Amino acid sequence: MTTETQTLRRANLSIDEGVAHFQMRDTASRNAFTQELKDDYADLITLIRKRADIRALLISGSSGAFCSGGDLKSLSGQRSADGTPLRNVEAIRARLRDSHQWFEGLFNLEVPVVAAVDGTAFGAGFSLALAADIVVATPRSSFCMAFNRIGAIPDLAALYMLPRMIGLRRAKEIMMSARVVSASEAHSLGIVHSLHEHDALMGVAMDMARRFTQGSAEALALTKLYSNQSMESDYSTMARLEGMGQSICLTSDYFYDAVERFIERRPAKFVWDPPGAGTKAAANPAG
């Protein structure tokens, strides 16, 4: 199978064996969320939604940085004729609305998303990691909800995702203090699935993404989407979703093939062996 490659505005995209690898590559800004990078993400989401052959997404950074957060120069650079900051409230609201158009699409993307974090994941970069289904990282990685350092509130859905992931009190402390969270602490909190040395990280992340391509596309998509809705839904709603989802899965070709394999004692298509077997990794007991 030939690998497809594209050079985007601030990222590289490759598609191989059902896995799309989106690598941010704006070294000068440490992969800051410039408008060009946001446009790359928007195009990525559109592409994956159209391509049934893409079964998993891997996101990574470059040059020792995952994503340094918002592009502060562009946020503060607009000036009035007299040189004072141009305080355009509606423009800021519109910019965030536009960002959520693609970010919510990433959060609810109907394929598994793996983030490989090496280096800084600050501000909106932290939010980006939270939107992934699985995060693997290096020991030198660090995470920071840096917004309060500049008098801003956490954005790009951080206020939604982090409390649901680690609990309200811990999330408030991390967001309000704007302190740096080490890779080991992020692992202990369950934000990071496992830690791997720099030279092993991408191999582990790609191995995880490729394993997902062996699973049922329907079952993985519905498990992800329903899990994302579970915090806002009551028992009866989730039970109805469960019934609808299971009726789709248990009438699929994948299900009948998997059952035949089980009865005939043939190898299963989807087996989740310990990711990164043979590498030094600290597995998260909760993961």
The residue range of the domain holding 244 is: 217-270
Query: Is residue 284 in a domain?
Result: no
Q: What is the CATH number of the domain that holds 240?
A: 1.10.12
Query: Is residue 279 in a domain?
Result: no
Query: Is residue 152 in a domain?
Result: yes
State the SS3 of the chain.
CCCEEEECCCEEEEEECCEEEEEECCHHHCCCECHHHHHHHHHHHHHHHHCCCCCEEEEECECCEEECCECHHHHHCCECCCCCECCCHHHHHHHHHHHHHHHHHHHCCCCCEEEEECCEEECHHHHHHHHCCEEEECCCCEEECHHHHHCCCCCCCHHHHHHHHHCHHHHHHHHHHCCEEEHHHHHHHCCCCEEECHHHHHHHHHHHHHHHCCCCHHHHHHHHHHHHHHHHCCHHHHHHHHHHHHHHHCCCHHHHHHHHHHHCCCCCCCCCCCCCCCCCEEECCCC
| pLDDT number for residue 76 | 57
**Are 172 and 258 members of one domain?**
no
| pLDDT number for residue 129 | 98
Query: Is residue 226 in a domain?
Result: yes
| pLDDT number for residue 14 | 98
Query: Is residue 170 in a domain?
Result: yes
**Are 21 and 45 members of one domain?**
yes
| pLDDT number for residue 285 | 33
**Are 141 and 254 members of one domain?**
no
Quote the number of domains for the chain: 2
**Are 173 and 193 members of one domain?**
yes
| pLDDT number for residue 70 | 83
What is the pLDDT tens value at each position of the chain, 287 positions in all?
A: 679 999 999 999 999 999 999 999 998 899 999 999 999 999 999 999 999 999 999 999 997 899 999 877 766 556 566 666 667 888 889 989 999 999 999 999 999 999 999 999 999 999 999 999 999 999 999 999 999 999 999 999 999 999 999 999 999 999 999 999 999 999 999 999 999 999 999 999 999 999 999 999 999 999 999 999 999 999 999 999 999 999 999 999 999 999 999 999 999 999 987 544 434 444 443 33
**Are 20 and 98 members of one domain?**
yes
| pLDDT number for residue 230 | 95
Q: What is the CATH number of the domain that holds 102?
A: 3.90.226.10
| pLDDT number for residue 71 | 77
